[in-house]
Structure formats: structure tokens, C-alpha cells
Structure 1
Amino acid sequence: MFLGSRDLRHAKGRFALIGGVVALITLLVVMLTGLAAGLGRESVAAVSTMPDRGVSQIAFSQPAQGQKVGFDSSRVASSAVKDAADQPGVTEATSLAIAQSRVSVDGVRSAVTVFVVEDGSFAAPSGVRPGSVVVGSGLGKDANVAAGDSITFGDKSVRVQALSDDASYQHVPVVWMTQTDAKAGGVQTAGGTSLALLKTDGSFDAAAFEKQSDLVAMTPNDSLSTISAYQAENGSLTLMRVMLMLVSALVVGAFFTIWTIQRTPDLAVLKAIGARTSYLVRDALGQAAILLLIGGGLGTLIATVGGLLARDVVPFVVSPTTTLVPLVLLMVLGLLGALVSLRRIATVDPNSALGAAR
């Protein structure tokens, strides 16, 4: 990096400017990535954590004509749940009803999503039993609820056994409760979403299950794409991140193309004294890598600190996936953009360039 290192020292202002642009783009991408992960978690956390409690398949009813399989349209009768439990490969089946309701906390009513499970259901979080519920931590923040407090549905008071960070659905806090409490509290589940949650073994065949039970089985992870709010949010934020990464590649590519044109005489001198094209290419890529690493690293650091400070206010996830992965992708795309300038390095003619310089 004979020429590249000297360029960096000599033209500090120019490189500081492009480094600042890279840092800002990285900051935006990392912040959007962390926000997208946080919003996604708030939208599907109650479903995505079901495998931790033994749920390996979620069974939906066959959709009506013109509708898609998913949470919005699923209506699984209790008889269908019993029939699903008798299918090959299914070791246990239980029902889940999802309903929108309102809960009263010290006289203040708050909107919640109620996940109603059978008494003693294997799919329910620990602590869910008649008279006892598990609620999302979002309700704890909004209504100042703590473990051990009582909340009221209609005329039925239940005890909050625990607050869970993984109990939210479509950005609304979830209350896991039993069918006994739901009936006593007047929670209306008729006409709402109902599913069959399955515990299966290695012999389970989804195609055969669908044919014999008239239900559609998906893994909890695959079922997330059928939640309309999650799909729309994730698609929009992913598009924004992709566009920002493409902008980063274009900015870096344009900068190094112009910079290569400006230093054509220097490249010609180096070629004239015997420098190989491969050496000059490595020099240019090394210069671009240093710039991307410094600018991208600074943007990632600022975004990480900002995310840690903001995650108590907005849904934000700070992890290697939301910080280091975007940084690596931006560096790779930036280097691809810098490759545009290499054609001029490879084709520069020493005699012509030096003659033009005179």
C-alpha cells in the first residue's frame, strides 16, 4: 500500500468526508436492522418461542377460497384438535385461541391479546393455570404491572404469575390464560383465531397429516410469514436496508473512480518504473478496505451505543446479527463498488498518461 497509505495521509479531508458518509450509511443500516429485529420480535415473540415448550408444529384450518393459510383465517374446532392428536407422528395436541380483549389494572383499561389454552396445556408458559396468568412485559411498562399483582377481565380477577419479554403478538402484550379463566372473564374467543398446537416425533409427515386431518401443519418458524403485520413490516424495512447498502456501494465506487482518475499520473509513474498491475490493484483495494473499516466501524459503534440506550424506549435488538453482519455486508458491497475503479488502473498506459500530464 505504498501509494494508498500516502494518499490517506496527504488528502485527509477528502478521505474524512467519504469516511463520514460511509459511517452515516452504516449508522442508518445498523439502526434499521436493530429496529427491524425489535419490531419483528414484538410482532411474533409469543409464537416464535413456542418450540421452547415443545410445540413442533402449528396446525391451521384449510382456508376459504381466495384466502391464505395463516393466523388471520384459521378456525380449528375442538373436535379437529382431538382428531389431530390421533394422527401418525403426533404425540400430543392442544388447542390455542387468540382473541383481542381489554384488561383492567387498578381501574385503568388496557388492550391486550389473549392466548387461551386448555387447562394444563403443554404449550403454555410455566405458571399458567386457573387463577394465574403470564403477561407480556409491555403491559408491565404501560400499566405498571408486576408479578404478584392482580388484573381483571370483566368480573374475573387473576394473579400475574410472571412477566415475560417473549409475550407479545402484533405489537400488543399477550396474556396467556386458561380456558376456565377466559370463560369466567368473558373473553370472547368465538369467531376468532383458533389453532391446534402439536408435539410430534420423527415419524411426522406434514403432507400425510394434511390429507388425513384436513388441517395444514407448519413449523412455528415457517408460520411467522403468515402473520400479515410481521410480513408487511419486515418486507418494508428489509427493502430500506437493501437500498441503503446499494447506495453505499455506489458512493464508494463513485469516490474511488474519481480518485483514480485524479491520480492517473501517479499510477503511470509507478507502472513506468515497473510496478505490476496486480500490485496497484491490491493497493487500491487495501485503501478502500481501510476507509470502509474505519467509517463502517465508527458508524456501527455509534449505532450500537444508541441502540443500547434506546432499547428501553423503542423495540431494538443489539446482537452480532444486527451489528456485525450489516457491517460485513456493507464492507463487501463497498469493495465491490471500488472494483469499478480497477479497470482504469489495469488499462492505464504510462506513456499516454505521462504525456497528458505534461
Structure 2
Amino acid sequence: MFVGLREIREAKGRFTLMGAVVGMITLLLVMLTGLTAGLGAQNTAGLAALNPAGYVFGNAATDEAPEDLTFVESSVTSQDQQAWAATEGVDDAVPVGMAQTLLTAESSGSVAVWGIPEGSGLVEHTASPALHGATEPSADGVVLSESIAEDQNLQVGDAVTIGPVDLTVEGIVEDQWYSHSAIVWVTTESWQAMTHAEDHVLGNVLAIFGTEDATAWDATAESTATVNTSVSESFQALPAYSSESGSLTMMQGFLYAISALVIVSFVTVWTIQRTRDLAVLRALGASSGYLMKDSLGQAAVILAVGVVAGASLGAGLGALAATAVPVSLSALTVIGPAVGIWVLGVLGSAIAVRRVSKVDPLLALGGN
């Protein structure tokens, strides 16, 4: 890389510009990847943290299994719960009711209400032991996520109204999220009162705990006209999740494609401009392999400097933005895009510098 490094030192402006472009694209990808992960977590964190073997969707209004699975339209009954609880491989089948409504105290705010059987232990299983007060809600109580308590300035013992139901704050736990709203936990009876559900409707889904027995579970699903899904498959039953994730992932794909095109274009133009210099080296005895390695090494160095700067800046800005928007920073969301840009850039550079191996030494002597 003797020649490549000398060229970088001699043409600082040209290579600084290229490094800056690569850095900006990396910055955008780090921020966008972090935002995608953060928004996804705000949609599905509660569902993932509950961590059952699967979720069961039903349709209490008909005897037919639901075709389009959504948490909002799904409903499971006491008969569904009893049938699944008695199924081979099922340790427990816990109904979970879900709704989004307003919590009103001194002010109002949107919350995701999860209705669970009293004493089920799901709050501690999903979120954490209580930071303050009780971990599980009682008949007239509610357990809040920490961010809701802070936003509304609520403490254990305060009275709140959720939908049409008056409740008392009995506990505060660590934040969990569902469909971009922080979760509050109430009993199944309180959820039924909020949603005006019939007595035999226990929730939107059943959280199935145990070890899957495919034959037995399929038989129960067929006999109860319900649908069993894995945790990851259930995410698609959140309309906002699938559309949001698809849009942001497509934007990431476009940015990767744009970065590859920009890098290939720059390296191609630079290779054409230095053709006579390369011809001189060929005339002095440099092999095609040496020139290829030198050119690729030069591109790899520029790309490395650009992606490191962009990823570092993206991580810093992401940490600042996380106080206002749901940006998730991790090795995957920071290092992943940087490595992706670098690998794409090197592959693109390899395509662009192929002409190096075909440089004619006669060009150095003024030949055609």
C-alpha cells in the first residue's frame, strides 16, 4: 500500500470528501437502525418479555377460527382457556386482555391496559418485582409502569380512572411497552368492565406456557377454533408493527444501495484518473496483483476511517436522541451498519478497480 497511502496524503481534500460521504451514510444508517429497533421494542417489548411458548388467538363471536390475526379483534373464552390448560404439554394457559385507553389523574395520558387473572404472577414475570408497593393488582387496583407514574406524578395509594373504571394505584414496576404505549396491569374483571366484554370472554389471547406438543396443540386449536402462534409470529398481529418495520427496513435497504453506488462511482473515477500513474508502475515492473492490492487497500482505509467516524457520531447522537425518541443502541445497531457499509464498499471497490489489472505499460511511454 505504499503508493495508495502516499496518494491519500497528497490528495487530502479528495479523500476527506469521500470519507465524509461514507461517514454521513453510516451515521444515517446507525440512527435509522437504532430507531427501527427502538420502535419495534416499543411495539412488542411486553409480548416478548412475557415469553410464553406461544399465543393463542380466537373469535368468541363465532365457531370459526380467525383468519386475519390481530390482537385487537381476537377474543378467547373460558372454554378456550380450559381446553388449552388441559392440553398435553401445556403447563398453564393464562388469558391476557389488551386495550388502549386513557388513564386520568391530575392529567390524562394514553396507556396500554393488560388484564390478567388475579394472582397470576404475570407482572413480575413480564416486568419486574415492584419498585414500590405491590407487584400484582387486586380487584380494585392497578399496577403502573414506572414512566406512567413519573409522567402523571402518581404514587402508591393514589386514585386514577382508566376508561370508565376508578382504581387505586397499588404498585409501580419497571417499564414494559405494547403498541407504543406503556403497560398498566389490572385484573381480568377490571379489563372486562373497561372493554364491556361479556363474562365468558377472558381476554384477547391466551399466553401458553409449557413445551409444545405439535400434535396435541394442533388438535386443541382445531377443536376450539383457535390459532396458536409463536411469540415472534404474533408480532405480525400488530398492524403498526408490520407496516412500520417494513417501511424502515426498506429505507435501510435503499441507503445500503446508495452507499454502494456512491463508493463504486468514486473509486471508478479515481481509478480512471490515475491510470497513467498505474501504467508507470507497470512499466517499472509492478505486477497486476500488486496494483490490485494497493488500490483495494487504499479504498479499505478510506472506508474504515469513514465508517468509524460515522458510527461514533451516530452512537453519540443516538444516545442524545434516546431521551426524546425510542432509539435502541447496541452492538448490533451500531457496529452492524458500520461493518455492512465497509463490506459493501470493499466489494464495490473490487468491481471498480478491475481495470487496474488491464492497465497497459505502454501508456507510460505515450503509447495508445
> Is residue 2:365 matched to residue 1:320?
no
1:238: how far off?
Answer: 0.6
Task: Report the counterpart of residue 70 of structure 2 in structure 1.
Answer: 70
More off after superposition, 130-139 vs 307-316:
130-139
1:190: how far off?
Answer: 2.1
Task: Report the counterpart of residue 56 of structure 2 in structure 1.
Answer: 59
Task: Report the counterpart of residue 88 of structure 1 in structure 2.
Answer: 88
- Secondary structure (helix, strand or coil) at the match of 1:119 reads coil
> Is residue 2:125 matched to residue 1:133?
no
Task: Report the counterpart of residue 115 of structure 2 in structure 1.
Answer: 116
CA-atom RMSD in angstroms:
2.4
Question: Alignment identity in percent?
Answer: 35
Specify every segment of 5 or more residues in structure 2 that has no aligned partner in the other structure, as ranges: 130-134
Preserved contact between residue 85 and residue 92 of structure 1 (Cα < 8 Å): yes
Q: Which amino acid aligns with 1:152?
A: T
1:56: how far off?
Answer: 1.5
Preserved contact between residue 58 and residue 198 of structure 1 (Cα < 8 Å): yes
Task: Report the counterpart of residue 157 of structure 1 in structure 2.
Answer: 167
Per the normalisation by structure 1, the TM-score is: 0.90
Q: Matches of residues 121-270 of structure 1 in structure 2 within 5 Å? A: 121-125=120-124, 126=129, 127-130=135-138, 131-145=140-154, 149-153=158-162, 154=164, 156-166=166-176, 168-182=177-191, 186-190=193-197, 194-201=204-211, 203-205=213-215, 206-270=217-281
Cα distance in 2 for partners of 1:257, 1:335 equals 13
Preserved contact between residue 133 and residue 175 of structure 1 (Cα < 8 Å): yes
Say if 1:59 and 1:5 are closer, same or farther in 2 by CA, change over 3 A.
same
- Secondary structure (helix, strand or coil) at the match of 1:157 reads strand
Task: Report the counterpart of residue 132 of structure 2 in structure 1.
Answer: none
Task: Report the counterpart of residue 105 of structure 1 in structure 2.
Answer: 105
- Secondary structure (helix, strand or coil) at the match of 1:158 reads strand
Say if 1:173 and 1:189 are closer, same or farther in 2 by CA, change over 3 A.
farther
Give the number of equivalent residue pairs.
Answer: 350
Preserved contact between residue 140 and residue 163 of structure 1 (Cα < 8 Å): no
Q: Which amino acid aligns with 2:90?
A: V
Preserved contact between residue 209 and residue 217 of structure 1 (Cα < 8 Å): no
Say if 1:340 and 1:75 are closer, same or farther in 2 by CA, change over 3 A.
same
More off after superposition, 297-306 vs 210-219:
210-219
Cα distance in 2 for partners of 1:72, 1:112 equals 15
Say if 1:90 and 1:352 are closer, same or farther in 2 by CA, change over 3 A.
same
Cα distance in 2 for partners of 1:194, 1:215 equals 12
Per the normalisation by structure 2, the TM-score is: 0.88
Specify every segment of 5 or more residues in structure 1 that has no aligned partner in the other structure, as ranges: none
- The superposition leaves residues 92-138 of structure 1 with CA deviations (integer Å, 9 ceiling, x where unpaired) of 111111122222122x2222221101112243335122044332344
- Secondary structure (helix, strand or coil) at the match of 1:270 reads helix
Q: Matches of residues 24-39 of structure 1 in structure 2 within 5 Å? A: 24-39=24-39
Preserved contact between residue 60 and residue 216 of structure 1 (Cα < 8 Å): yes
* Stretches (4+) displaced over 4 A: 62-67, 146-150
